[in-house]
Structure 1
Amino acid sequence: MEMINVTSKGYFVLLGFSNWPHLEVVFFVVILIFYLMTLTGNMFIIILSYLDSHLHTPMYFFLSNLSFLDLCYTTSSIPQLLVNLWGPEKTISYAGCMVQLYFVLALGTTECILLMVMSYDRYVAVCKPLHYTVLMHPRLCHLLAVASWACGFTNSAVHSLFILWVPLCGNRQVDHFFCEVPALLQLSCVDTHANELTIMVTTSLFALMPLILILTSYGAIAQAVLRMQSTTGLQKAFGTCGAHLMVVSLFYIPALCMYLQPPSENSQDQGKFIALFYTVVTPSLNPLIYTLRNKDVRGAVKRLMGRE
């Protein structure tokens, strides 16, 4: 197949959910609702954590980072998807595709690392409560947050540069609803084993290793909880860690299902729906998970409303 310079043509076609044209209006409405929930819920957490001094703690500092991250993550791909679902044109410019690829990958990697940092915070809170304020002092919290973002954007820069060097063939149709590395590699005319090896190494480093450390942290937390004698202590530990563990599950389980499923004719379509879940549904549920039955948040809302 003839190689082309895609920059001269200026666009890609995002196939998205074009196999189900009769459902595109339904997809548009449902995705728009979840996107608005994501914007509203995460902005609420960010503003509340900033305004209420009682929430100026490591837990809510990292939660604000996660909320801002989710806002950016969904906004990097969902508006383009909504435009493509609404109209007949499903194109994205070459520059727009590269920018989207960079930010989607950067923010996804950052979330993996930030969830690991949050699990460490919960480990210290439950297993070393007397040393919590010393171990999780503000300077360390800021350094951990900056390191999470720096690792995510550095990892994405490596993959983005590799993609820019890969010559693409005449087919400009990307079989996904956003620009991602594996979908773009399918358009290449040359051997992409180096790119695939890079993906495998960085996925192990920035996704599997954080997951292993998260599970290790919760293993230690579970042991500490089982040794607790008081019911109040058990309830507090569960309330402290349950929300974060649920968020980790909602993020990692769909991602692992997508990357570990055996290749098949339907795997690409299944991958789109799984990706849709953790880019649209999960970020909209995170604020609900952290705010429902959360006494700190309810108290902060009452204080801001002048009821306390």
Structure 2
Amino acid sequence: MEILELYSGIGGMHWALKASGVEGKIKAAVDINPTANSVYKHNFPEITLLSRNVQSLTPKFINKLSVDTILMSPPCQPFTRNGLQEDINDERTKSFIYILSILPELNVTRILIENVKGFEQSKMRDLLIGTLEKCGFLYQEFILTPTQFGVPNTRHRYYCIAKKPPSSFNFEAGSLKTELPYRQNANDCFEISLILDQNEDLASYYLGDKILTNYLDTTDIRYSTSKNTCCFTKAYGRYVKGTGSVYSDLPEVKSEMYNKLSDFDPRSNSYLQLAHQLKIRFFTPREISRLMSFPEDFTFPKSTSDKQKYMLLGNSINVKVVAELIKLLQ
């Protein structure tokens, strides 16, 4: 594969290509986010990384790159259940619409697209499928989550893979699938003890008094023996409710302490003292990157703050899931 990586972010698609074992080369990566680009360049200094709007890429420019494959994860905010769901009317869809408009002019024979669950019900999805059919692509849509692949993180996402004849899939393509063809779901996920930081100073990650007092009842607490975590969003670390799981240092058998909190007024010292005994903290960026299947040699520049790391990871992909899809695309 000769690949153009659009909306390249922190390089999730690139890492997925490496993890897949499929022979391929990233000819160029494109993203407009300077912080994400600094992380990409830090990990892949040899790659041509274009810091520019996708809409600035002309068909002539793309064809001159001699690419036959596009991997992309367009902005998902227009389709998220917590957003305004403005769909194709959202300004952030304009670059994706542009790419679809020039697709008939591109010498591209393979495409992989990732987006948020909910995209499959959007007008943008209808435009995507209509364009793929117009251009003669065979395609298959999926809704998949890492827990199906043995990874203890729930992150349902929409995926579409497409090929142009004479290439074809080695399975019967059809309506949206919720598992990969010829692959059984993993029987079990590994314990999150395997992704925990052992040497890092974790003091700054423990939940503060304000969170413990006001939001502890909305947190999803996990333990070292847990085999799942909730989806992490870009607001993780700044907010608690709905942004991802938190971790307790206690053995799970002692989690009954949490139930005792209801005996106290959340504004009382007794409540706060007991809450502190739960030893609850945010997962570190490194731990989240492991849950998203990034390898150990993936790193952030030293100048990247934890807030930036959480935001970038929240916008990224699960490497293992996409790697499996790239295998189907070859």
Instruction: Give TM-score, length-normalised by structure 2.
Output: 0.21
Q: Higher helix proportion, which one? A: 1
TM-score by length of 1: 0.22
